[in-house]
Amino acid sequence: MTLFERLYRYREKEGKHERENYLTELLAAVLERNPALCLRLCEYAGLSVPANTKFSIRTQVSYVEGQPDIVLESAANGVFLLIECKLEAGEGHEQLKRYQRILVSSSAQHKRIIFLTKYFESPNDTSVSCLRWYQLFSFLAPLPAGDLLTAFTQYLTLHQLHKPMNFLPADLVALEQIQSTIAKMDEVLSPLEWLFREYLGGTGQYTKTRTAKLAEGWYGYWRYIGSSRFSAGFQFAAGEMPWCFIEVESWNCAAEPTATGPNANKVQQALRESWGISAEKLTYLSITKAVTSFTSNEDDGVVAMREWFKTHFEQMNAVLKQHEYFWKGVPEAVIPLEGDPALLQ
């Protein structure tokens, strides 16, 4: 998993997904450190800007007419460029028209809007230059190498924002296989969902009825308990072979063991020990196994995958059974200890 993806999933909250805003902030950070990219965007938008222009970058600036994602400007050179970033969403109600009014009210000589999208958009507005994420990705190649730029390109690649959305011959072949592949993943996961739910309760499930979730890079089921998210299934990323996974991500949890509080990290510590993943931090516990490791032997791959999930679900449930406070939402001190008559009265 890439650095920026780890950071996003660390901060993601139940029922609140802000990947679009997160990506906007990442792009703004890259722009701040790469004036050449600012110049390239100005050039793309048709603005004539001197090569030595110094830019300021601001995000989520509020105007009466709205709140553009990124404002790129240079007062000294009369540059005012608004960048609106979109992932799965389309244009908001008359959003670009309202942003055009922001341009009109600006005294800058060189001003324009860039509408940065994942999917093809063609607004009927002469002040708007439409740009796709894969085109932006191509602008990154000539920039000086650096850790930030590398992490950003890895993040774009992970979320398939680095290449055109045109159908290729390989896509046409893959279309024939999608339903079959989903059925095989369901064959592994569906019979075991009851075991995943035994202590966690109901699941949020990515099933064949919501195949759009495949675009996020995984397929399976998940459940939030308190400040932790349990998830399991299949993961896949560009340039990598898919793998089976089980994860527990915790937000109100110290990265390593702590004595603070009566229940601090106890479930996470027990899971780490049970799953044998001593190198993992307690805030993010993950066990994985490559799909190819199940299909390369003579045994039935589906049966072998099921057994792998089943074994680790049972270990997880044994830990949850010992720590009822975690999933029942009551203090550990008031839960009777099994087999202790004094506490069972």
Which pLDDT does position 199 carry in this prediction? 87
Of residues 28, 23, 135, the one with CA closest to residue 73:
28
Kindly tell me if the per-residue pLDDT of 15 is higher than 60.
no
For the beta sheet containing 218-225, the strands, ordered from the edge strand earlier in sequence to the opposite edge, are 204-205, 218-225, 228-235, 243-250, 284-290
**Residue 319 covered by a domain:** yes
Among 123-132, 135-144, 169-178, which stretch is predicted with the lowest mean pLDDT? Answer: 169-178
What does the pLDDT average to over 220-233?
87
Residue 264 pLDDT class (50, 70, 90 cuts): low
CA-to-CA distance for 304 and 155, rounded, in angstroms?
A: 32
271/214 same-domain check: yes
- Of 97, 129, 158, the residue that ends a domain is 158
List Cα–Cα distances, 250 to 13, 17, 228, 255, in angstroms: 10, 16, 4, 9
CATH of the domain at 107: 3.40.1350
7/93 same-domain check: yes
- Indicate the number of domains in the chain: 2
**Residue 125 covered by a domain:** yes
Q: What is the pLDDT of residues 48-70, one digit of tens each?
A: 899 999 999 999 999 999 999 99
148/208 same-domain check: no
313/253 same-domain check: yes
What does the pLDDT average to over 130-150?
93
147/190 same-domain check: no
205/252 same-domain check: yes
Kindly tell me if the per-residue pLDDT of 74 is higher than 80.
yes
**Residue 118 covered by a domain:** yes
309/188 same-domain check: yes
125/199 same-domain check: no
Continuous segment of H or E residues that includes residue 250: strand 243-250
299/183 same-domain check: yes
Q: What is the pLDDT of residues 245-258, one digit of tens each?
A: 999 988 877 777 66
Average pLDDT along the chain: 81
**Residue 70 covered by a domain:** yes
Of residues 118, 131, 132, the one with CA closest to residue 44:
131
- Domain region containing 282: 178-334
139/205 same-domain check: no
**Residue 313 covered by a domain:** yes
Answer yes or no: are the C-beta atoms of 329 and 199 closer than 8 Å: no
Count of helices and strands (H, E) across the chain: 13, 10
The pTM of this model reads 0.56
**Residue 339 covered by a domain:** no
